[in-house]
Structure 1
């Protein structure tokens, strides 16, 4: 699991640079999240940005299909309002958590596939932890990367 840098030239899905998963990206760069699963299941994708805000990107309008088959999937998914996420904000570390479960999450606060990404608070995170603890065969994947100013050493 990781992020891939995307060069947006048109409204197409873009062209990936040769490096597979980046550990450092510049502000203003466009990225996609990429996850490769060996088993099918339901995906929850949670991101903590450099300001400390925590967001649920899957499910949301950026990833309306949370039930995924095996293999590689990229977010935003095809048909979302954007083809890549622009790196905005301030330099620092961003963290991504992917949770894959065999059972459909029954968390009442989860966004629907047509809703904006939801900013999570402690209550949401506590319920998510409890759900994962109680769910058999769940997988949790983690990655982080550094957001830098353009021209800064990487």
Structure 2
């Protein structure tokens, strides 16, 4: 996939995530869905930032941040999976259908998945760009195993 497509998808993810916050939060009072939508939009924004830095060859200045962004991606992947399972269990145990107004657990489940997706993409591209930087500079953060 080309860099322009990656940037376009990140922009769409950012705009949709932020609009979900306003739409589901203010209009439909589904704050669970709104919060996960906002987190998804923020992660898409960070992924967009990574793409732009890579295209402008600013990976060297952000190389120290890439490890932290990888860790952040892992943490939010875990949060997305936990939220997905929790909302799915709540929706099934309460025999809830598709509810848009109020606490709709299935919609929150969808946005937990979207949060997981953007956290995975953040981790993936931070790792990819970090490896590219290490390959370019000849440095590596891997510590070899030394037998004593």
Which TM-score applies when normalising by structure 1? 0.26
Which TM-score applies when normalising by structure 2? 0.26
Name the structure where helix makes up a greater proportion of residues: 2
Structure index of larger Rg: 2
